[in-house]
Amino acid sequence: MSDEYFYGVTLSSSHQSETWDPEAKGDYPRSNKLLIRQALLGPEAKADELNVVQVETMCLQESIKIPVAILKVGEQRQVRLHIEFPDAPVTFTLIQGSGPVHLIGQHLLGALVEEFEDMEEMEEEMLDEEEGDDSQFKEDENKRKPTAGKRKTNEDEDDEEGEPKGKKSKMSNNAKGKAPSPKKNAKK
């Protein structure tokens, strides 16, 4: 089960960088995810000044730095973002301009770390039980195999309705499923 909290940070000339790293603080022994939804320029931003927000985070094997918002008074005061950061730390930096730039989003807290460990143990136990059940089915299938002996012919075998298969197939020779005409039966 996850909990959702508001996240917000303001970057300006006096506070140019902010790092989101709840795991370093040890306050949250749960899985964490940060969602950034919007970046907007404060009302006191200077005219004709570009404000560039950069994010630094880990990608697959290395750190990456990339701009995520470029804002300017009179052109674009806000931008909608939909950026997810599943791994901490994430550093936001105002690399150009004096701001203020407000970043708004959500901090998601997942299940407790101990709950994940318990779930992994339960999944392993279930897999072990399923493997045990599969071997039991194989034993049952071996018991059900027919023994060597006389095999029934089509005429001797009964279908689901209790009629011999051979006779039924002779009766349904008509391709349209209609009964044979009475003239043919009368000649026999």
Query: What is the pLDDT confidence band of residue 113, given thresholds at 50, 70 and 90?
Result: very low
Q: Averaged over 53-70, what is the pLDDT?
A: 92
Q: Averaged over 19-28, what is the pLDDT?
A: 72
Inform me whether the pLDDT recorded for 33 exceeds 80: yes
**Amino acid 114: pLDDT:** 46
DSSP string, 7-36: EEEEE-SSS-EEEE-HHHHTS--EEEEEEE
Inform me whether the pLDDT recorded for 135 exceeds 70: no
| 90-94, 148-152, 178-182 — most confident range | 90-94
**Amino acid 136: pLDDT:** 54
Tokens representing 128 are 């072990």
Tokens representing 178 are 């209609």
More confident call, 170 vs 104 = 104
Burial (0-12, 13-18, 19+ Cβ within 10 Å), 38? middle
Cis peptide before 100 (omega within 30 of 0): yes
Inform me whether the pLDDT recorded for 82 exceeds 70: yes
More confident call, 37 vs 32 = 37
Which domains, ranges and CATH numbers included, belong to the chain?
4-112 (2.60.120.340)
